[in-house]
Amino acid sequence: DAGVIQSPRHEVTEMGQEVTLRCKPISGHNSLFWYRQTMMRGLELLIYFNNNVPIDDSGMPEDRFSAKMPNASFSTLKIQPSEPRDSAVYFCASSLNSGNTIYFGEGSWLTVV
């Protein structure tokens, strides 16, 4: 299996621009997670889906952030407009039910200047 696939791996964008991060979970997994990692705040859960339905989005920082999962094989995390404080590594992860291993992608490194 190819694992969790994220794109882009690296993005540098200007403040105010829209950023879209993409994720393809492992085939057959029914839970998908978006995490953000920074030096200051560590690893934060932003939102997670189960069977394509958002279950908990309490970690989404503000209205500038939105996530969708239109089908079982694709999810997006969008930031609009982006701000320098959004600079971080964004990880997508997937798993098959609770208690099973959660598999991480390699991350999308976002820099907003």
Partner 1 sequence: AQSVTQLDSQVPVFEEAPVELRCNYSSSVSVYLFWYVQYPNQGLQLLLKYLSGSTLVKGINGFEAEFNKSQTSFHLRKPSVHISDTAEYFCAVSDRDSSASKIIFGSGTRLSIRP
> Count of CB atoms within 10 A of residue 45's CB?
16
Residue 15 within binding range of partner 1, rule CB under 8 A: no
Residue 71 within binding range of partner 1, rule CB under 8 A: no
> Count of CB atoms within 10 A of residue 98's CB?
8
* Matching residue, tokens 């993005």: 11
Residue 65 within binding range of partner 1, rule CB under 8 A: no
Tell me how far apart the alpha carbons of residues 59 and 45 are, in angstroms, rounded to a whole number: 6
Is 71 or 97 the residue whose CB approaches partner 1 more closely? Answer: 97
Residue 12 within binding range of partner 1, rule CB under 8 A: no
Quick check: 6 and 110 in contact, CB under 8 A?
A: no
Residue 34 within binding range of partner 1, rule CB under 8 A: no
Which residues of the chain form contacts with partner 1 (CB under 8 A)?
4, 31, 33, 35, 42-43, 45, 48, 50-51, 55-56, 91, 93, 95, 97-99, 101-107
